[in-house]
Amino acid sequence: MSHTSAEMYELKKKVEELKKIRGRATELVSLYIPAGYDLNKVMQQLREEYGTAQNIKSKSTRKNVLGALERAMQHLKLYRQTPPNGLALFVGNVSEQEGVSDIQVFAIVPPEPINVRLYRCDQTFVTEPLEEMLRVKEAYGLITVEKNESTIGILRGKKIDVVDDLRSTVPGKTRAGGQSARRYERIREQETHEFMKRIAEHANNAFLPLLEKGELKGIIIGGPGPTKEEFVEGDYLHHELRKKIIGVVDISYHGEYGLRELVEKASDILAEQEAVKERKLIQNFFKHLVKDTGLITYGEKEIRKALEMGAVDTLLISEGYDKIRAKVKCNACGWEELKTMRESEFDTFKKQIKTCPKCGSQNLSFEKWEVAEELIKMAEDIGANVEIISLDTDEGQQFFRAFGGLGAFLRYKLQ
């Protein structure tokens, strides 16, 4: 199942949070458990690491490592088995105040299967496997075509997988004249036709499942001569796949090198695909705004209301949006207040409210969470789409500046 841009956005935010944390020594524990891995073996390893950590000379480091391992083992007891995509666990002292211990657990079940088994205790958390997932994009089909050979591959992010390497029995050109030459040429054309049918059959088998899952974003075809155009113009590929052809380029190599050259030559096409989709989305948003159709809204308050009513069709969130939701609650009388602010304003918010304005109690509790994650969850609960808008295009920049990075297409007009 393909992951959504919302899942990737949430993962990106979590990774950014983890990367900011620094240990005073090698005391931050990172644990990656692949899907299907026996949790009992993980617990056994952590117990062994706990025994080893008893020998750490530094008292504070020893305390923090042992505390992290204890919390990790406690957390793993919450699982009967490893989650379907595996589990990434990050545990350690996040306190910035020397001598003060604040052991926190960050558990991430990623949108893609974890394929690495890792335990590390370091000054920073190990986030590279999760960052690799963020780099992986949806799939592009790759086909190199020549008279006598073809290579079919799939591009995901920067990784190219060779699916098929085909060879034909098409004979070379002949210098013979007369009827035999014409007969030879007909045989050659028939062999070429059959080979192209075989290429298409293999490409259909490789790409149609991706199309059905919504993962196939486009197909790029390359080759050194006119054969690639013959393949594109001929009725060989499945009709739905033909609609997905986004580029035909000249390349010199074949095989895996040919696929790499194909991706390199089509780099502008690939980059433009993402940008075009985003531009169309934002241009459509502005069009509704200018025509005052009543089918868009913007601003956190308005979007929150539309989500609560189930009226949002597509939620748009800029990568640059970084507001948090802060809540203060009186534990004596139940009074509470909610505010949206920047992360940097949270400490000031806490200092400003010393007592409950309703009953005067000082027994207050504070909490905070990201607005974007909350809105994404609300959108998913009503079956709305979520699109994350980058800051890489002029339209994306304009959306962020003009609307603060929040907008929505509506299913119907709001009264």
- The CATH number of residue 382's host domain is 3.30.1330.30
CB atoms within 10 A of CB 379: 22
- For residue range 157-176, list pLDDT tens digits in order: 667 889 999 998 766 655 55
Domain boundary among 100, 117, 134: 134
User: Percentage helix, strand, coil, to 5, in the chain?
Assistant: 45, 25, 30
Range of the domain at 193: 139-265
Evaluate if residue 21 carries a pLDDT over 90.
yes
Report how many domains make up the chain: 3
| 13 shares its domain with 124 | yes
Of 131, 128, 90, 123, the C-alpha closest to 22 is: 123
- Judged by phi (left if over 0) then psi (alpha if -120 to 50, else beta), residue 42 lies in alpha
314 and 193 share one domain? no
Q: Are residues 81 and 150 in the same domain?
A: no
The answer for residues whose C-beta is within 8 angstroms of residue 151's C-beta and 6 or more apart is: 142, 143, 144, 162, 164, 165, 166, 254, 255, 256, 258, 259
Considering the chain, what percentage of its residues have pLDDT values greater than 90? 68
| Position 366 in a domain | yes
Q: Is residue 354 part of a domain?
A: yes
pTM, to two decimals? 0.58
Q: Are 147 and 132 a contacting pair, CB within 8 Å?
A: no
For 61-83, what is the mean pLDDT?
94
Could you say which of 231, 265, 299 is where a domain stops?
A: 265
pLDDT computed for residue 308 by the predictor: 96
The Cα–Cα gap between 154 and 203 comes to 10
Residues 173 and 219 placed together within one structural domain of the fold: yes
Do residue 129 and residue 15 come from a single domain? yes
CATH number, domain with residue 67: 3.30.960.10
Please check whether residue 272 lies inside any domain of the structure.
Answer: no
* Residue ending a domain, choose from 265, 291, 307: 265
Are residues 256 and 296 both part of a single domain?
A: no
Q: Does 298 map to a domain?
A: yes
129 and 178 both lie in a single domain: no
Residue 271: inside a domain = no
Average pLDDT value for residue range 316-323 = 92
Asked if residue 174 and residue 127 are part of one domain, the reply reads: no
Q: What is the CATH number of the domain that holds 190?
A: 3.30.420.60
Helices (H), 294-406: 300-308, 346-352, 371-381, 394-403
My answer on whether 102 and 177 are in the same domain is no
- pLDDT interval class at 3 (50, 70, 90): very low
Q: Are residues 228 and 201 in the same domain?
A: yes
Torsion sign across C-alpha atoms 338, 343, 345, 351? positive
Asked whether residue 169 falls in the same domain as residue 235, the answer is yes
Note the pLDDT of residue 177.
54
Identify whether the C-beta of residue 318 lies closer than 8 Å to the C-beta of residue 298: no
Q: Is residue 273 part of a domain?
A: no
Q: How confident is the model at residue 156 (pLDDT cuts 50, 70, 90)?
A: confident
Same domain, 246 and 284: no
The per-residue pLDDT for 280 is 86
